[in-house]
Amino acid sequence: DAGVIQSPRHEVTEMGQEVTLRCKPISGHDYLFWYRQTMMRGLELLIYFNNNVPIDDSGMPEDRFSAKMPNASFSTLKIQPSEPRDSAVYFCASSPGHNIMNTEAFFGQGTRLTVV
Amino acid sequence: GEDVEQSLFLSVREGDSSVINCTYTDSSSTYLYWYKQEPGAGLQLLTYIFSNMDMKQDQRLTVLLNKKDKHLSLRIADTQTGDSAIYFCAGGTPSKAAGNKLTFGGGTRVLVKP
């Protein structure tokens, strides 16, 4: 498997524009996580899914942020409208299950978002 | 919720041992993890320890857990330049309902000098 695939790797956009980040989890993994990494706040969990169903979105900062998982192989994180303070590296991760033998979270390489 | 804290930076000479420390607040975390992030990459799991263990050794890595003090450490023996990275500790309690929702510390940047 190629691992967790995120696109784009880098995104530069103007304030007010809509941004869509994409993630393809590892095939067969039941859980998908979206994280945001900044210097100020470190690594924050935004939302995660179990079998395509959102379980906990309490980390989503504002209504401008939304995430979907229409099927087991694809998820999106959308910011509309984007603001400069949304600039960060956004990571997607997936894990097989919830037993200790299969809870390792595999991370994608991240999308570096810059909002100017 | 869980709060996990780490020191920001560690500088070490190649060949020496590195010790990265972490403190956490939620004693109910069942598992504690160490992840490594290399520049421009995502996080990669290094090792984990179950909360009822005191120590776990895996090649050059030794994890020590002091449950009383809620203190976790990662020792890297014979540190190499390739060990330069950011190291994150994290706590979690896997469950069928919640999967393995992890709370990460802020990360410790380790710089290995030749």
pLDDT in tens, A59-114: 998 899 999 999 999 999 999 999 999 999 999 999 887 665 566 788 999 999 99
- Write out pLDDT tens, residues B14-66: 999 999 999 988 777 778 899 999 988 889 999 989 888 899 999 999 999 99
Q: Is A93 helix (H, G, I), strand (E, B) or coil?
A: strand
Instruction: Report d(CA A112, CA B26) in Å as an integer.
Output: 31
- Closest partner CB to A48 (pick from B50, B101, B103): B101
Query: If you search the block for the tokens 């994290």, which residue do you land on?
Result: B90
Contacting residues of B for A42, CB less than 8 Å apart? 104-107
- Backbone dihedral angles phi then psi of residue B77, each to the nearest 5 degrees: -85, 150
Which residue out of A4, A95, A103 would a mutagenesis test of the B interface target, given it has the greatest number of B Cβ atoms within 10 Å? A103
Does A93 contact B40 at a Cβ distance shorter than 8 Å? no
Looking at the DSSP bridge assignments, the partners of residue A5 are A24
β-pair type (A31-38, B4-6) = unpaired
- Closest partner CB to A43 (pick from B88, B96, B99): B88
Instruction: Report d(CA B50, CA B20) in Å as an integer.
Output: 18
E strand or H helix that includes residue B46: strand B43-50
Instruction: Report d(CA A77, CA A90) in Å as an integer.
Output: 9
Average pLDDT over all residues of chain A: 92
Say whether pLDDT at B74 is over 60.
Answer: yes
Query: If you search the block for the tokens 């780490």, which residue do you land on?
Result: B6
Instruction: Report d(CA A42, CA A82) in Å as an integer.
Output: 20
Q: For a pLDDT cut of 70, what percent of chain B falls above it?
A: 94
β-pair type (B108-113, B85-92) = antiparallel
Q: Is B41 helix (H, G, I), strand (E, B) or coil?
A: coil
Query: If you search the block for the tokens 């940047």, which residue do you land on?
Result: B109
Does A100 contact B104 at a Cβ distance shorter than 8 Å? no
Contacting residues of A for B44, CB less than 8 Å apart? 107
pLDDT of residue A70: 97
Does A42 contact B43 at a Cβ distance shorter than 8 Å? no
Does A43 contact B45 at a Cβ distance shorter than 8 Å? no
Instruction: Report d(CA A16, CA B43) in Å as an integer.
Output: 30
**Residue A44 CA from chain centroid, whole number:** 10
- Closest partner CB to A42 (pick from B40, B92, B106): B106
Does B103 contact A45 at a Cβ distance shorter than 8 Å? yes
* CB < 8 Å from A in window 44-103 of B: 44-45, 48, 50, 88, 92, 94-103
Omega of the bond prior to B39 within 30 degrees of 0, cis? Answer: no
Cβ(A110)–Cβ(A8) below 8 Å: no
Instruction: Report d(CA A92, CA A107) in Å as an integer.
Output: 6
